[in-house]
Structure 1
Amino acid sequence: MMDFLAFALAFAGFSTIAMGMEGHGRQVFGRVPEEGRRRLLKLAGWVLLLLSLVPALAARGPSIGTVLWLSLLTAAGFIVGLMLSYRPRPLRVVGPALLALAVAVWALAGR
């Protein structure tokens, strides 16, 4: 469960950072986002990437959790890269939807 949450946070982080870039923002939104919005997207993306470390450490401890986190970052970055190459527009929906699903599953599993 925590692994899925860490992956979803990493995926959302990478997709948000990508949407904050000029070129990828044009691919995803059809136009270049304004400078203020791009900065906010990049900042939010980095925060999500850092937050993705927390569930990985909580689930597996510091040694295995760090290795797991790096593996999840690799997988999430690879998938975001593939989406940017082949289907960039759905990225604006997939990232937030995956994150919402992971948080909902995590919240329901905690009960």
Structure 2
Amino acid sequence: MNPLALDFLAFALSFAAFSAIALSTERHSKQVFGRLPALAARHTLTVAGWLLLFASLLPALAARGPSIGSLAWLGYLSLASVAIGLMLSYRPRPLRFAAPALLGLAVLAWGMAGH
């Protein structure tokens, strides 16, 4: 398995997770969508975000092993959170497209790498 594809998948899952968690909040959902989604949708985003966050650990561990993989995962979490923070500060609207697009690219890269 190509470790770079797994690294990219771990980062994309982290990015999607933090995007979902951010969009589950009232303030950020208004920034990105211009309105407040229904409460059920916000709860779904919260649960999906946490599940994606835990899922992002698995490719990092598979790519680098438990010691380096966990450290790399913390790096991906940091990078994803900074990217989300900058997007929410300067260009919040594209976030609704960036997270699904990045996640789709990561799954495509994972599939091409011969998962």
TM tier, smaller? over 0.9
Q: Which amino acid aligns with 1:43?
A: V
- The 5-angstrom pairing of residues 42-61 of structure 1 reads 42-61=46-65
**TM-aligned CA deviation for residue 108 of structure 1:** 1.1
Cα distance, 1:7 vs structure 2: 0.2
Q: What TM-score do the two structures reach when normalised by structure 1? A: 0.98
Which residue of 67, 70, 76 maps to 2:80?
76
Q: 2:22 is matched with which residue? A: 18
Q: TM-score, normalised by structure 2?
A: 0.94
CA-based RMSD of the aligned residues comes to: 0.8
The one of 95, 105, 114 equivalent to 1:91 is 95
2: CA distance, partners of 1:17 / 1:26 = 14
Secondary structure in 1 matching 2:93? coil
Q: Name the count of aligned residue pairs.
A: 111
Q: Distance in 2 between matches of 1:43 and 1:75?
A: 21
Match of 1:33, SS state, is: coil
- Give the Cα separation in 2 of the matches to 1:29 and 1:50: 26
CA distance in 2, matches of 1:91, 1:15: 7
Q: Which runs of 5+ in 2 are unaligned?
A: none
CA deviation after TM superposition for structure 1 residue 109, in Å: 1.2
**Alignment pair present for 1:41 and 2:23:** no
SS in structure 2 at match of 1:75: helix
Deviations along 1:53-75, whole A, 9 cap, x unmatched? Answer: 00000000000000000010000
* Over 3 Å off, 4+ runs: none
Gaps of 5+ in 1: none
Given the alignment, which residue of 99, 105, 108 partners 1:101?
105
Task: Give CA deviations for 1:83-111 in whole Å, capped at 9, x if unaligned.
Answer: 00000010010000000000011101107
Letter matched to residue 10 of structure 1: S
